[in-house]
Structure 1
Amino acid sequence: MNKLEKLATELGARLTKHRCYLVTAESCTGGWIAEAVTAIAGSSAWFDRGFVTYSNAAKQEILDVCPQTLAKYGAVSEPTVLEMVNGALAHSQAQVGVAISGIAGPSGGTADKPVGTVWLAYAFPNNIYAQCHHFSGDRRSIREQAVITALQTLLHGLE
């Protein structure tokens, strides 16, 4: 069993224990978190749905991210991922959520938001927060590190 399978299996056990469903809202990872959890047999008992909102238009239409938020802060920002996770919860039956938006490269980075900048937002029944990470490596490596971080943080939040 690889690292993603182990993390997803443990996450499923914790969500089941807490009687919670998970929802994902993904941009830069393109559904990789959802793929990791749905690779686990029986995940339909604890995974509600996943949204892949790669474009800003999708973030607005599907997750209710405000155009003003995107214009002021950009897609890769704390306010945007917080709105993404709240939108995902509002459009699902889940009690736990994760949202992710980042710059996986190899281009698209700026001085303020270099390649490897990834914002993640987490929602638990009594806590919603966001974290910024700066991952290194190529596009695949940055995306994989983001998925692993998301799963580990979800596990930690459900301890």
Structure 2
Amino acid sequence: MALHRPFLSPLPSLQPPKPSKTFRISFPSQTHRPFCCSKPISQSESSTSPSTGVFIKGLPLSTAEGRLKKAFSEFGEVKHVNVVREKISKQSLGSAFVWFDKEESAQLAVNEMNGKFFDGRFVLVKIAIPGLSKNRGRTTPYKF
């Protein structure tokens, strides 16, 4: 008759570690905050620092700065136009910024153009929040 003995591992290093009082689980969400959420911007903060710029989203990839300047100049003097482009290929990402000389012109552009049909597509137009995108260019894009 064979005796059944419990299996004992010959290598003690393969044994699971015994819990100790100093063992602590750290979750990244508790110790680190992503840069996009590190400083929430409330409605009151954005209203206290008015902007002369507008952000346009939903543009066709073929929309040029000149076309935007011509269209938005009916709301006031346009100081600068910047179509957001991918860094390597320089392809438009379908969004842009337009800066006016006066805050009233920017607000008028938002009131008149938000949700309207422009250059073949419906666009979203909002007041640009200064400093919101400063950290976005420093991140490395994911590569799949």
TM-score bracket, normalised by the shorter chain, equals under 0.3
TM-score by length of 1: 0.24
Higher share of residues assigned helix: 1
TM-score by length of 2: 0.26
